[in-house]
Structure formats: structure tokens, C-alpha cells
Structure 1
């Protein structure tokens, strides 16, 4: 039992690492979740047939042990995980069609798109120049779209670009906070802590050199 619990936890940890990708979007998150759910379906079918090919320690235990392996316990764990994933990500499941549209608007079924997007999606799919730009990535392609031609598509994309598709920022902030808020900074206020964490985790560059250069004053010689 403990061997199976340890190995299923290992599979969960592998999923967790994928969800921590720095530049992950909500579409990436949904891909990883769908893949893991499919793995759970496979795991359940195989375990019910006493096939532990994806649980090597359990396989070794079955080969060496004289007692019967508790497959019913393993199946219950998998079923419980399936239920937990279904409940916790039900909101995302309800938006599956929109996530797929966001992920690849060029292959979307126009008839299944929201009414306000249909005409713009048709224009988008017919534009070979924009299609060629698709390789620059989702963020780049939606930034490239002219707002005057695709206002609704850009608004739609903005909603999904703003959704956190990764736990990276949360993990990063907690890691930075251990160094920023230490026992040597007993008077650190919440406002200062918040500001320091923002500075420590942002990708924005201050551009001090350009700012100082623009303020440079020339002194005339007398």
C-alpha cells in the first residue's frame, strides 16, 4: 500500500513540476491537467488488471511478496484522485472550448465560437500573414493583432492571458520572502515587504541609464 501511495505521489510531483513553468499560460496548464487525467484513466484500467508497469516498486513487491497485492486500495486512490481533479478544475472544464479557441484560433470551429468573435475569427483564419506569425507564440500573436481589426479577439485573449497558468510566481515569492523577511529585519513593514517582493520577482527593467541620460543638463563654459 505504501509503495503505491509513494509512486502515485511521484506522478503528482511530476505534474506539479510541469505546472511551475515560468511562462506557462492557462492553456498550458489545461494541457497538463488533461494529460494527467488521461494517465489516471490508464492507471485505473491497468491496476484493475494487476498491471503495474507504471509503478515499478509495486511491480517488484508483487514479484517478491507471497501475499496478494491490495489492488482495491490502489484503485480507490486513483478514483479519489479522479474525483478531486473533476471537482477542483470544474470551472476550467466549463471553459474548455474557449481555452481551445485561445490556444489555437486558426483551427477553431467558427460555429462554436462566441457570437461576438465569429466574424473576427473568420478574418483571422483567412489572414495568411498573421497565420505565419503564429510561430512567435500566443502572447506575441495576440500582441501583433491590430486592435482596430480584431478588438473582440484581443479582449477575449486578454482575459486568458491574465489568468495565472502557473504556480511559478507564488513559489518564487515565497522563496524570496524567506530572504527578505528575516530575523535581522524586525521593523520591516507590510508595505515595504510588498514592494521588495515586487522588485524581487518582476521581469521589468528600471532603465535607469536612459532615464538619467534624458535628464542630463549641459553646463556652458564661461
Structure 2
């Protein structure tokens, strides 16, 4: 721990880059294995908690008292739509749509 604290190169790097980038790119896992392991656990802990909480909030919004009879399959489909970052290109879809007229 003392070697880590006294490392001037790492001090300068820590001031220049983000905390995540510092631990991923500049802290050597061979030289500081326990510190790096703890840091990686802390970074993944908060990221996964946030994603889980955000998805749970979306599920509560979707499955409210007015939609109490949703099936699990339908809820899963709605959750997939709610949790994706994909934005369709509606102009492209409408432009390429072929109309089907009755005979």
C-alpha cells in the first residue's frame, strides 16, 4: 500500500484520466493484485446495481394496477423494448414501406 501511495507516476496519471481508466489501464495487476481486484469489484458493483434498479423501475411503470393481467411473455417483450437504447429510423421504414392494395 505504501509503494502504491508513493508512486509519483501513478499520482500524475490519476490526475490526468478518469478513475475507471486509471485502474484499468495504468495500475498493474501483477504489482498491486489485491488493490486492483478491490477496485474492479467496486466499479462493477455500482454499475450493475444501477442497471437493475432502472429495469425494476421500468417494470413497475409497465406493470401497474391498470395492467394487472399482463402475461409474463408480454411483460418480457415490453421490458425488452423499454430497456433498449435502440431508436428506429422511422423515415427509412416509412420510405421503404410497400403498400398492399386490395383487389
TM-score under structure 2 normalisation? 0.48
Higher relative contact order (CA 8 A, sep 6+): 1
Larger Rg computed on CA atoms: 1
